[in-house]
């Protein structure tokens, strides 16, 4: 992102998918965040927050969705196309979504009416809104599915995409997971380690994790392990400069096994260490392991 262009994020998507959480996270990152901005007022608000002549204008994050006065999805797409032509602005459209069951549960728990179904079942509003605004995702710079994401994971992904300042290439996230619990929805690249020897069936290794030396040593005895790691590095290494060139700000690499505790953890740790040694900024998360913590590194 050029230092001479003002960062601007327009946050939209399905009601209940996390717009308010996203705006709070962007505000924490240094953006001036304002919700429910009618489209005709966007340019006026940009001008009024530009600051004094010669000063760098504050980064902006505006929230707009179906509850915003005068909302029109087609007009929103058209307005973003206009903003992308401006030489003083670095605009990005963030579209938030989630599966229908998750949205319904969130509205049920909050006991709030859906903006498109004030006097109807929540499900009717969700279906109508998806039909009305779903196509906007095709024009978005970033689409985030918040189904299953914790607030921390959501904010971590937002930081990866929208952190201010000069980023040295694409930021990377490596996540281990259990296939039984489903693929990480944020994953860009997915690798399956279920072909490797499984420590789960060794009584002394079962209670351990892929970060324990004994488990790592066991997995490394698999005759295909070293070749697999080498092929991973050979595949991912050449892709990263291409992602950089395309301006991709955040890339999630997911590594899975059956239980998400042994093989995927060990391989994710190895992969993250290798990426850091190449000079990359890497976040490592073990989604389904009992110790499931996030580790930062650069």
> Which of 162, 186, 210 is the C-terminal boundary of a domain?
162
Per-residue pLDDT band for 292 (boundaries 50, 70, 90) equals: very low
Per-residue pLDDT band for 48 (boundaries 50, 70, 90) equals: confident
Q: Can you give the CATH number for the domain in which 132 is found?
A: 3.40.50.300
Give yes or no for residue 279 having a pLDDT over 80: yes
Domain match, 153 and 126 both: yes
Please tell me the predicted confidence (pLDDT) of residue 56.
73
* 96 and 22 Cβ atoms separated by less than 8 Å: yes
> Which of 127, 162, 197 is the C-terminal boundary of a domain?
162
Domain annotation covers residue 134: yes
Domain annotation covers residue 1: no
Domain match, 43 and 101 both: yes
Domain match, 98 and 128 both: yes
Phi, psi for residue 12 in degrees, rounded to 5: -145, -170
Domain match, 177 and 291 both: yes
Please tell me the predicted confidence (pLDDT) of residue 88.
86
Number of Cβ atoms within 10 Å of the Cβ of 30: 15
Report pLDDT digits (tens) over 235-278: 999 999 998 887 777 899 999 999 999 999 999 999 999 999 99
Please tell me the predicted confidence (pLDDT) of residue 109.
84
> Which of 136, 162, 188 is the C-terminal boundary of a domain?
162
Structural domain count of the chain: 2
Q: CA-CA distance, 178 to 183, in Å (whole number)?
A: 8
Report pLDDT digits (tens) over 161-210: 898 875 557 889 999 999 999 898 889 999 999 999 999 999 999 999 99
Domain match, 236 and 127 both: no
Its sign, for the CA torsion 97, 99, 101, 105, is negative
Any residues with CB less than 8 A from the CB of 286 and at least 6 apart, and which? 175, 176, 209, 260, 265, 268, 292, 293
Domain match, 23 and 45 both: yes
Q: What is the β-pairing status of strands 250-257 and 171-178?
A: parallel
Q: What is the mean pLDDT of residues 55-65?
A: 87
Question: Which range has the top average pLDDT, 18-27, 49-58, 109-118?
Answer: 18-27
Domain match, 140 and 17 both: yes
Domain match, 178 and 195 both: yes
User: Nearest-5° angle of CA 77, CA 248, CA 183?
Assistant: 90
Separation in Å, CA 5 to CA 24, 45, 51, 58, 84:
22, 17, 14, 10, 11
* Helix (H) / strand (E) containing 219: helix 213-220
Please tell me the predicted confidence (pLDDT) of residue 2.
44
Domain match, 180 and 253 both: yes
Please tell me the predicted confidence (pLDDT) of residue 167.
55
* Tokens representing residue 63 in the block: 């929230």
Give yes or no for residue 153 having a pLDDT over 90: no
Domain match, 29 and 148 both: yes
Which structural domain range is residue 96 located in?
Answer: 6-162
Domain annotation covers residue 23: yes
* 103 and 14 Cβ atoms separated by less than 8 Å: yes
* 63 and 23 Cβ atoms separated by less than 8 Å: yes
* 252 and 231 Cβ atoms separated by less than 8 Å: no
Give yes or no for residue 16 having a pLDDT over 60: yes
Domain match, 151 and 60 both: yes
Give yes or no for residue 55 having a pLDDT over 60: yes
Domain annotation covers residue 35: yes
Q: CA-CA distance, 231 to 224, in Å (whole number)?
A: 11
Domain annotation covers residue 189: yes
Q: Across the chain, which distance is largest between two alpha carbons, in Å?
A: 69
- String of b and e for 77-93 (b: at least 16 CB within 10 Å)? bebbeebeeeeebbbbb
* Tokens representing residue 185 in the block: 């929805």
Report pLDDT digits (tens) over 111-132: 788 887 777 888 888 999 999 9
Any residues with CB less than 8 A from the CB of 246 and at least 6 apart, and which? none
Q: What is the mean pLDDT of residues 51-73?
A: 84
Per-residue pLDDT band for 234 (boundaries 50, 70, 90) equals: very high
Domain match, 83 and 184 both: no
Please tell me the predicted confidence (pLDDT) of residue 54.
62
Per-residue pLDDT band for 298 (boundaries 50, 70, 90) equals: very low
For 10-27, the three-class secondary structure string (H helix, E strand, C coil) is EEEECCCCCHHHHHHHHH
């Amino acid at each position: 992102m050029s230092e001479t262009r003002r960062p601007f994020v327009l946050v939209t998507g399905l009601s209940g998918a996390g717009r308010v959480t996203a705006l709070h996270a962007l505000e924490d990152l240094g953006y001036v965040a304002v919700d429910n901005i009618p489209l005709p007022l966007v340019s006026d608000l940009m001008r009024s927050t530009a600051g004094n002549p010669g000063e760098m204008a504050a980064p902006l994050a505006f929230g707009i969705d179906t509850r915003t006065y005068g909302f029109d999805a087609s007009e929103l797409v058209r307005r973003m196309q206009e903003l992308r032509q401006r030489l003083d602005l670095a605009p990005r459209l963030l579209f938030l979504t989630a599966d229908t069951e998750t949205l319904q549960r969130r509205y049920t728990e909050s006991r709030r009416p859906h903006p498109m179904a004030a006097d109807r079942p929540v499900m009717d509003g969700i279906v109508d809104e998806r039909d009305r605004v779903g196509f906007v995702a095709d024009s978005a710079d970033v689409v985030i599915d918040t189904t299953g994401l914790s607030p921390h994971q959501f904010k971590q992904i937002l930081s990866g995409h929208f952190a201010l300042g000069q980023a040295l290439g694409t930021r990377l996230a490596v996540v281990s997971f259990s296939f039984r619990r489903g693929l990480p929805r944020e994953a860009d690249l997915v690798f399956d380690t279920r072909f490797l020897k499984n420590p789960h069936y060794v009584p002394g290794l079962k209670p351990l994790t892929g970060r324990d030396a004994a488990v790592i040593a066991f997995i490394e005895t698999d005759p295909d392990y070293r070749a697999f790691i080498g092929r991973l590095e050979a595949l991912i290494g050449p892709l990263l400069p291409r992602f950089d060139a395309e301006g991709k700000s955040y890339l999630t690499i997911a590594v899975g096994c059956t239980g998400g505790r042994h093989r995927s953890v060990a391989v994710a740790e190895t992969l993250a260490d290798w990426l850091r040694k190449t000079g990359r900024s890497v976040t490592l998360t073990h989604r389904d392991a009992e110790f499931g913590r996030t580790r930062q590194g650069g």
